[in-house]
Amino acid sequence: MSQTRIRDRAVVIDQGFVVAQRWGIRIVVIAAALWVLGWVVGRTWMVWFPVSLAILFSTVLGPPAKRLRELGVPASAAAGVVMLGFLAALGFLFSILVPQLVDEAPEIADRAAKGVGEVQDWLINGPLSLEAGQITNALNSVEDWLRDSAGDISSGVLSTIGVATNVVLNTVIVLILTFLFIKDGHRFPPFVERLGGHRVGGHLRELMRRGWETLGGFIRTQALVSFIDAVLIGIALALVGQPLWVPLAVITFIGGFIPIVGAFASGAIAVLVTLVTNSPQDALIILAVIVVVQQLEGNVLSPMLQGKSMNLHPAVVLLAVTAGGSLFGITGAFLAVPVTATVAEILRYANDRIDAALITSESTFEPTPEDAAADVRSAAESSGDDDRA
């Protein structure tokens, strides 16, 4: 006769506290390790920043260099040809677009600030007749920021490169590292695999491959999506007669590399500038075009081009951009999503390996003598039931 055993409540509660204490200590240790890692990265950011940019450039330039190597071109020559083509294309675009962007940026900021003022007047004195208090303070803060940063916007992209040193030195370092990465990068995974040994080396190589593919897919796809957004919005700005449509299109393209936040900010600037330069009707047209383009990007372009390679929830993307921007400024916001996507890919790989280990354990399960005896009793009972039937 079986008896029900009742455990003491104090024992159950005590075991619960033991588990909570164990996991609390683990969380504290992990948080401390992450804090130390963040502190080290922040202190050595002048080193990691050019390395990060070089890796991102290499994910785009690596495939054509690999193709040339497969055709029999030496690694150095293949890397040199790809780098020269990249620099030529970059120089051509910069010579056409950047001077105009730098020249027109202060005017764009000034007109955007005036647009904020017109929105403020409409909200207070228009048909809505809202209270002036908080609306005035909020919009005045935005207007003051736009006016104060009018000179900074023209050099904002370049100034972020010179966080720790001057622009020229960082640019040279990035170009040299990019050349070396696309020249000898294919030799690094086998080296890491040999260094990691038989048990760990294969996992490290697979993690590097997945991270590399994730980064490359993100950069190429984001560049294409940003280019399509900039072209469509630029055409709309040109059709309504916006005189600053070229620099506004460039700002849209640059903002596209910072998901969610960049698209919102660049779209808001385009609408505000059109409100001042043209008319409220034109501004509403541009607003409608931006909303349609953003919906096209979010529901058609990005899912179709990226597929499930990123597989990041919009909330995760927003939090990553916010955290990266708060810690490392514009560059942190730009690098936040690729870094988060790479970490997510590493976690997915770890989850896949855990599932594979569980399946292997179940397939190689060997019954104990007690299990064998239970099977014999079950078979005997089943045979007895058949005889009685």
Distance between CA atoms of 154 and 297, rounded to whole angstroms?
Answer: 27
Residue range(s) defining the domain that contains residue 254:
44-363
- The answer to whether residue 36 is domain-embedded is no
Burial of 341 (0-12, 13-18, 19+ CB in 10 A): buried
- The answer to whether residue 331 is domain-embedded is yes
Element (H, E) at 352: helix 314-363
- The answer to whether residue 22 is domain-embedded is no
Distance between CA atoms of 340 and 365, rounded to whole angstroms?
Answer: 38
- Helix then strand count (H, E) for the chain reads 13, 0
Could you tell me the pTM of the whole model? 0.62
* CA dihedral (146, 148, 154, 157) positive or negative: negative
Local mean pLDDT, 10-residue blocks, the chain (389 residues): 69 88 94 90 82 86 88 89 88 70 63 65 58 55 53 44 55 87 86 84 86 81 83 88 81 75 77 79 86 77 59 75 76 78 85 80 53 50 47
Distance between CA atoms of 209 and 69, rounded to whole angstroms?
Answer: 18
- The answer to whether residue 375 is domain-embedded is no
- The answer to whether residue 39 is domain-embedded is no
Which residues lie below 8 Å from residue 196, measured CB to CB, with a gap of 6+?
A: 202, 203, 204, 205
- The answer to whether residue 283 is domain-embedded is yes
Give residue 98's pLDDT. Answer: 62
- The answer to whether residue 376 is domain-embedded is no
- Do residues 233 and 269 touch, judged by C-beta distance below 8 A? no
- Do residues 79 and 65 touch, judged by C-beta distance below 8 A? yes
Q: Whats the size of the chain, residue-wise? A: 389
CA distances from 34 to 25, 50, 337 (A): 14, 22, 18
Give residue 30's pLDDT. Answer: 93
Give residue 388's pLDDT. Answer: 46
Total of domains in the chain: 1
- The answer to whether residue 119 is domain-embedded is yes
